[in-house]
Structure 1
Amino acid sequence: MDTDKVSVLITVTGIDKPGVTSALFEVLSAHDVELLNVEQVVIRDRLTLGVLVSGASTVADGDPLHAEVTAVIQRLGLDVTIERSQDVPVIAEPSTHTIVVLGRPITPAAFGAVASEVAALGNIDFIRGVSDYPVTGLELRVSVPQEAGADLQANLARVAARQGIDIAVERYSLERRAKRLIVFDVDSTLVQGEVIEM
Structure 2
Amino acid sequence: MSDQLILIHIYGLDKPKLTARLTSILAEYDVDILDMGQAVIHQNLSLGILIRIPPESESAPIIKELLFAAHDMDVNIKFSPVDQDAHEAWVKAEGKERHIVTLLGPKITSRQVAVMSKVLAENDLNIDVITRLTGRTSLDEGVLNRPACVEFSLRGTPRDTGAIHREFLNISAEMGVDIAMQADNAFRRNRRLVVFDMDSTLIQVEVVDELAKEAGVGDQVSAITASAMRGEIDFKESLRRRLNLLSGLDEAALDAVADRIPLTSGAERLIANLKRYGYKIAIISGGFTYFGRKLQDQLGIDYLYANELEIVDGVITGKVLGDIVDAERKAFLLKDIARREDISLQQVIAVGDGANDLPMLNLAGLGIAFHAKPKVKAGARQAISTLGLDSILYLIGMRDRDLVN
TM range (shorter): 0.7 to 0.9
Give 3-state SS (helix, strand or coil) of 1:131's partner: coil
Residue 125, structure 1, aligned to residue 128, structure 2: yes
Q: Counterpart in 1 of 2:153? A: 141
Question: Which residue of structure 2 aligns with residue 47 of structure 1?
Answer: 45
Higher helix proportion: 2
Q: Does 1:102 find its partner at 2:104?
A: yes
For 1:40-119, what aligned pairs fall within 5 Å after superposition? 40-56=38-54, 59=57, 62-87=59-84, 89-90=87-88, 91=91, 92-93=93-94, 95-119=97-121
Structure 1 residue 153: deviation in Å?
2.5
In the TM superposition, what is the alpha-carbon distance from 1:146 to its structure 2 partner?
5.5
Structure 2 equivalent of residue 192 of structure 1: none
Taking CA–CA contacts closer than 8 Å with sequence separation of 6 or more, which of the two structures ends up with the larger relative contact order? 1
| 1: CA distance, partners of 2:155 / 2:167 | 15
Q: Which residue of 2 aligns with 1:38?
A: 36
Larger fraction in strand:
1
How do 1:10-29 residues align onto structure 2 when only pairs under 5 Å count? 10-29=8-27
Partners of 2:53 and 2:59 within 8 A in 1: no
Q: CA deviation at 1:136?
A: 1.1
Partner amino acid, structure 2, of 1:104:
P
Residues 112 and 120 of structure 1: is their aligned pair in 2 closer, same or farther, counting only changes over 3 Å? same
What's the CA shift string for 1:41-98, capped at 9, x where partnerless?
Answer: 1111111111111233663x62111011111122112111111123361324255210
Aligned-partner Cα distance in 1 for 2:265–2:161: 30
One-letter code of the match for 2:134? Answer: S
Task: Give the whole-Å Cα distance in 2 for the aligned partners of 1:58 and 1:161.
Answer: 60
Q: Return the alpha-carbon distance in structure 2 between the equivalents of residues 164 and 26 of structure 1.
A: 48
Unaligned runs of 5+ in 2: 138-145, 192-263, 270-298, 300-404
Supply the distance in 2 between the matched residues of 1:121 and 1:163 (Cα, whole angstroms): 21
Change (3 A) 1:4 1:149: farther
SS in 2 for 1:105: coil
Count of aligned pairs between the two proteins: 186
In 2, the alpha carbon distance for the partners of 1:101 and 1:11 equals 28
Native 8 Å contact 2:29 2:62 kept in 1: yes
Classify 1:8/1:177 alpha carbon distance in 2 versus 1 (closer, same or farther; 3 Å): farther
Match of 1:191 in 2: none
2:273 corresponds in structure 1 to none
After TM superposition, the structure 1 stretch with the greater mean CA deviation from structure 2, 30-39 or 49-58, is: 49-58
Among the aligned pairs, what percent are the same residue? 22
Distance, in Å, in 2 between the alignment partners of 1:22 and 1:106 is 35
Quick check: 1:5–1:86 contact (8 Å CA) kept in 2?
Answer: no
Could you tell me the TM-score, scaled by structure 1's length? 0.81
When residues 129 and 157 of structure 1 are mapped into structure 2, their CA distance, relative to the original with a 3 A threshold, is same
- In structure 2, relative to structure 1, the CA distance for the partners of 1:85 and 1:176 (3 Å cut) is same
Once the two structures are superposed, what CA deviation does each residue of 1:131-150 show, in whole Å capped at 9, x if it has no partner? 14501110001123255333
1:178: how far off?
A: 5.2
Residue 161 (structure 1) aligns with: 173
The one-letter code sitting in structure 2 at the alignment partner of 1:33 is V
* Equivalent residues of 1:160, 1:166 under 8 A apart: yes
Aligned to 1:4: 2
Task: Flag the 1:97–1:187 CA change in 2: closer, same or farther, 3 A.
Answer: closer
TM-score, normalized by length of structure 2?
0.42
Give the letter for the 2:133 counterpart. V
Residue 19 of structure 1: CA displacement? 0.4
Letter in 1 for 2:22: L
Specify whether residues 20 and 175 from structure 1 end up closer, same or farther in structure 2 by C-alpha distance, changes over 3 A only: farther
Check the 8 A contact 1:24/1:72 in 2, yes or no: yes
Q: Describe the shift of the 1:119–1:147 C-alpha distance in structure 2 as closer, same or farther (beyond 3 A).
A: closer
- Cα deviation 1:166-195 (Å, max 9, x = unaligned): 11111011342456xxx963699xxxxxxx
